[in-house]
């Protein structure tokens, strides 16, 4: 009963000075709202980034020529990967699929429409390795690769640029003034930021190498590890194989660079987690400022209610009772401020998701964390004023004017 009486007195005290109480809670409201909004933006951004990398394949190894140089000075990229390398890699244990890749920017034209677009030449396995799906038409076949067929699969953005709303399948386009028949259109994957997979043309690598580019080396080799294989073991076997094929001397640096997509995703995830922590700390600064505001208001309240404290002590109130009353007042301010801030933070996260291109994810954990920190801040910054009130000498307090 005594506890509820203390709560009742605390509420009455706060309601007697509504404007002061609201101003004291304002820092907590802003702090909690900022923490929830920042964490929601950080979590949404992390999910977007990881989804973009995962869309390129999670069990993917990308083999590219290493940089060449002398005396620590890089002078360019080596030209050392061949189709024979890709065929040898396919025989390795733990490798499910391989796709040699070449590419360059080309001019694509259909009637009066033309666009500058990235052309990718690869094998039939490229779409499955890179997790592309056909929306209309079909992928090119092995016989198209063997016969240097002039067929093309378009990204949805490229198809829209050239054909508008018309169906691109079975139409003829010109790539660098050479006729190609469109046999398929990809499903959209979304812009990756540094590269838009929806804006490209994919053709057989033999056609690209011998008809469009006139090259004998490939830009990269995409390797898909089998589902039951250890990707790190596959990477090690792959490096050993290529060192042997390229006759790389023991102790000499490898002439290829192998990128592990799983490691890249893990690195990106770690970086994004650090970014989320940073955003949370930024929001937490507002909570700290709000706590200082509560302490200032509570110190003023203790000064104004000195005679009241003296009277309560004179009629038998213990120091613990006075301490509890002022701590509960501070906790109520931070608690109510936390609830209002949580509502504003969730609303702000929804607004950001609805009105901008940023994704936001409000997790129950972030809301509970913000509320918990708000309560701790209220108790921490309310403890000194409460202790000061509890330690007042009743005789001196009764004399206070």
Q: Say yes or no: 277 and 392 in one domain.
A: yes
Of 217-226, 244-253, 312-321, the one with minimum mean pLDDT is 312-321
Distances (CA, A) of 130 to 29, 119, 124, 226, 340: 46, 15, 11, 14, 46
Domain boundary among 195, 224, 253: 224
Q: What is the pLDDT at residue 161?
A: 93
Name the token pair of 210: 């011998």
Q: Say yes or no: 382 and 290 in one domain.
A: yes
Give 6's Cβ-side CA count (13 Å radius).
19
Range picked from 52-56, 375-379, 389-393 for highest mean pLDDT: 375-379
Report whether pLDDT(46) > 90.
Answer: no
Total domains, the chain = 2
Percent of the chain with pLDDT over 70: 84
**For the chain, what is the radius of gyration of the CA atoms?**
33
Mean pLDDT of 99-124: 93
Report whether pLDDT(137) > 80.
Answer: yes
Greater confidence (4 vs 91) lies with: 91
CA dihedral 180, 181, 187, 192 (to 10 degrees): 0
Distances (CA, A) of 20 to 16, 152, 298, 306, 344: 9, 70, 10, 18, 20
Report whether pLDDT(305) > 60.
Answer: yes
Q: What is the pLDDT at residue 83?
A: 92
Domain boundary among 193, 224, 255: 224
Of 5-19, 118-132, 324-338, 358-372, the one with minimum mean pLDDT is 5-19
Place of tokens 């801040």: 377
Q: Which domain holds residue 6?
A: 2-52+267-399
Report whether pLDDT(315) > 50.
Answer: yes
Residue 69 φ/ψ, nearest 5 degrees: -175, 180
Mean pLDDT of 316-329: 75
Q: Is 359 within 8 Å of 47 (Cβ atoms)?
A: yes
Please give the DSSP secondary-structure letter assigned to residue 93: T
Q: Say yes or no: 114 and 214 in one domain.
A: yes
Of 100-114, 128-142, 264-278, 333-347, the one with minimum mean pLDDT is 264-278
Q: What is the pLDDT at residue 117?
A: 93
Burial of 80 (0-12, 13-18, 19+ CB in 10 A): middle
Residue 58 inside a domain? The answer is no
Q: Residues with Cβ < 8 Å from 103, sequence gap 6 or more? A: 118, 119, 120, 121, 208, 219
Q: Say yes or no: 106 and 183 in one domain.
A: yes
Of 19-33, 48-62, 98-112, 288-302, the one with minimum mean pLDDT is 48-62
Q: What is the pLDDT at residue 75?
A: 47
Q: Say yes or no: 297 and 371 in one domain.
A: yes
Helices vs. strands in the chain: H and E counts, helices first: 13, 12
Report whether pLDDT(390) > 80.
Answer: no
Rounded to a whole number of angstroms, the distance between the first and last alpha carbons of the chain is 32
Q: What is the pLDDT at residue 180?
A: 96
- Pairing relationship of beta strands 178-186 and 200-204 according to DSSP bridges: unpaired
Residue 149 inside a domain? The answer is yes
Confidence band for 56, pLDDT divided at 50, 70 and 90? low
Mean pLDDT of 272-279: 73
Q: Say yes or no: 210 and 301 in one domain.
A: no
Greater confidence (294 vs 244) lies with: 244
Name the token pair of 381: 């910054």
Residue 364 inside a domain? The answer is yes
Angle of CA points 164, 167, 172, to nearest 5° = 95
Q: Say yes or no: 357 and 273 in one domain.
A: yes
The phi-psi region of residue 264 (left if phi > 0; otherwise alpha if psi is between -120 and 50; otherwise beta) is alpha
Percent of the chain with pLDDT over 90: 27
Confidence band for 84, pLDDT divided at 50, 70 and 90? very high
Confidence band for 154, pLDDT divided at 50, 70 and 90? very high
Mean pLDDT of 109-126: 93
Domain boundary among 167, 195, 224: 224
Report whether pLDDT(394) > 70.
Answer: no
Dist. CA 218–CA 85, nearest whole Å: 10
Which residues face 67 on adjacent strands?
77
Dist. CA 131–CA 357, nearest whole Å: 24
Residues in the chain: 401
Residue 150 inside a domain? The answer is yes
Mean pLDDT of 12-18: 67
Residue 330 inside a domain? The answer is yes
Of 54-58, 153-157, 188-192, 360-364, the one with minimum mean pLDDT is 54-58
Q: Say yes or no: 356 and 277 in one domain.
A: yes
Q: Say yes or no: 22 and 109 in one domain.
A: no
Residue 155 inside a domain? The answer is yes
Residue 235 inside a domain? The answer is no
Report whether pLDDT(73) > 70.
Answer: no
- Pairing relationship of beta strands 95-110 and 151-154 according to DSSP bridges: unpaired
Residue 76 inside a domain? The answer is no
Confidence band for 209, pLDDT divided at 50, 70 and 90? very high
Please give the DSSP secondary-structure letter assigned to residue 361: -
CB atoms within 10 A of CB 197: 23
Q: What is the pLDDT at residue 348?
A: 86
């Amino acid at each position: 009963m005594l506890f509820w009486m203390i709560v009742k007195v605390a509420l009455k005290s706060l309601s007697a000075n509504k404007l002061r109480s609201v101003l004291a809670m304002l820092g907590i409201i802003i702090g909690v709202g900022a923490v929830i909004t920042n964490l929601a933006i950080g979590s949404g951004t992390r999910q977007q980034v990881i989804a973009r990398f995962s869309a390129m394949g999670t069990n993917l190894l990308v083999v590219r020529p290493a940089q060449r140089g002398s005396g620590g000075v890089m002078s360019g990229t080596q030209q050392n990967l061949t189709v024979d390398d890709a065929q040898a890699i396919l025989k390795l244990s733990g490798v499910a699929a391989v796709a040699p890749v070449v590419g360059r920017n080309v001019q694509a034209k259909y009637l009066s429409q033309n666009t500058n677009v990235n052309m990718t030449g690869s094998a039939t396995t490229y779409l499955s390795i890179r997790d592309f799906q056909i929306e209309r038409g079909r992928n090119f076949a092995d016989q198209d690769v063997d016969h240097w067929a002039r067929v093309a699969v378009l990204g949805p953005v490229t198809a829209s640029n050239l054909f508008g709303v018309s169906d691109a399948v079975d139409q003829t386009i010109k790539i660098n003034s050479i006729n190609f028949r469109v046999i398929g259109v990809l499903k959209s994957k979304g812009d990756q930021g540094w590269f838009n997979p929806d804006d490209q043309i994919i053709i057989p690598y033999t056609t690209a190498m011998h008809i469009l580019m006139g090259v004998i080396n490939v830009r990269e080799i995409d390797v898909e590890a089998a589902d039951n294989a250890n990707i790190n073991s596959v990477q090690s076997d792959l490096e050993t194989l290529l060192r042997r094929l390229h006759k790389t001397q023991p102790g000499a640096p490898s002439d290829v660079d192998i990128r592990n997509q799983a490691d890249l995703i893990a690195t990106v995830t770690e970086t994004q987690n650090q970014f989320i922590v940073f955003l949370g700390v930024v929001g937490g600064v507002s909570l700290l400022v709000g706590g200082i505001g509560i302490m200032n208001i509570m110190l003023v309240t203790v000064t104004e209610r000195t005679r009241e404290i003296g009277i309560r002590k004179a009629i038998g109130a213990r120091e613990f009772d006075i301490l509890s009353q002022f701590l509960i007042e501070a906790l109520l301010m931070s608690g109510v401020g936390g609830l209002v801030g949580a509502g504003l933070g969730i609303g702000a996260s929804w607004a950001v998701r609805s009105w901008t291109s940023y994704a936001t994810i409000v997790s129950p954990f972030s809301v509970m964390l913000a509320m918990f920190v708000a309560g701790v801040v209220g108790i921490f910054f309310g403890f000194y004023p409460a202790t000061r009130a509890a330690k007042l000498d009743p005789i001196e307090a009764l004399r206070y004017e």
